[in-house]
Structure 1
């Protein structure tokens, strides 16, 4: 199963991380193959900064998930929020436009989830 999680609100980080962890646990219990991608755009890219994720308490969860999922930040949102790519967690991939990445994954059959 291919699943794309979309986050664009900073207040939803705990929920999206919990949703992803629960989904991975289910897939593992059922021995199901999966691909999960998380796309952050809008203000939610702020929490992908190393220092911010540490301060907010999300860094360890993101680090743990990074070996199982692809975590992406929208370049347009980074620019809009004046965030330099060097400030991001090292495993975060930058995509040119979050909305384009979401649309591309949907054309590839990814299920879309936005908590």
Structure 2
């Protein structure tokens, strides 16, 4: 009997220590499958970091298997993936936020299936070199137009969010 009570106590303690485990199961059932596009066209590193945190919280709440997340970056938003040493090459940007901390956040989200779409118009208009200036961006990440991509994804059932 004492062993049984010990097991029950351990079980209850585990549930109180890890409430997010049971909440995630309930949340995924509640929210179901979701398609979301996050829009970033601002260069404020704190706000960009907050948006990445929102995306991670979104994934945590319903599970990466229940969520299709796309991020569209255009204009000043490209600074999220702009390497700090690239500012000398692209004077049309005021900020380059892809430092080690931001890069780790982006990598973590990519590993969970988040796709980062980069506006080709911004790349061309601001003379950005994909390999030299941007963190982990290649031609497969380019979309012809950031705003057109936002509209397209919305017609495909993606919910638009701009934190």
C-alpha distance in structure 2 between counterparts of 1:32 and 1:65, whole Å: 13
* Structure 1 unmatched ranges of 5 or more: none
- Between the aligned partners of 1:82 and 1:9, the Cα distance in structure 2 is 18
> Quick check: 2:130–2:137 contact (8 Å CA) kept in 1?
no
Q: Does 1:7 align with 2:40?
A: yes
Q: Give the structure 2 partner of residue 74 of structure 1.
A: 119
Q: Which has the higher contact order (CA 8 A, sep 6+)?
A: 1
Secondary structure (helix, strand or coil) at the match of 1:10 reads: coil
RMSD, aligned CA: 1.8
Decide whether aligned partners of structure 1 residues 84 and 32 sit closer, same or farther in structure 2, where only a CA change above 3 A counts. closer
Q: Distance between the aligned counterparts of 1:112 and 1:19, measured in 2?
A: 13
SS at 2:57 equivalent: helix
Pair 91,63 (structure 1): closer, same or farther in 2 beyond 3 Å: farther
Give the aligned partner of residue 17 of structure 2. Answer: none
Higher helix content, 1 or 2: 2
Is the CA contact 1:75–1:94 (under 8 Å) kept in the aligned structure 2? yes
d(CA) in 1 for partners of 2:99, 2:104:
8
Per the alignment, residue 58 of structure 1 pairs with: 102
SS in 2 for 1:104: helix
Structure with more strand by fraction: 1
Shift of 1:77: 1.3
> 1:38-73: per-residue Cα shift (whole Å, max 9, x none)?
001111112213444026x31100011112211111
Instruction: Note the 1:1-115 alignment, pairs <5 A.
Output: 1-11=34-44, 12-28=47-63, 33-51=66-84, 52=96, 53-54=98-99, 57-67=101-111, 68-86=113-131, 87-91=133-137, 93-115=141-163
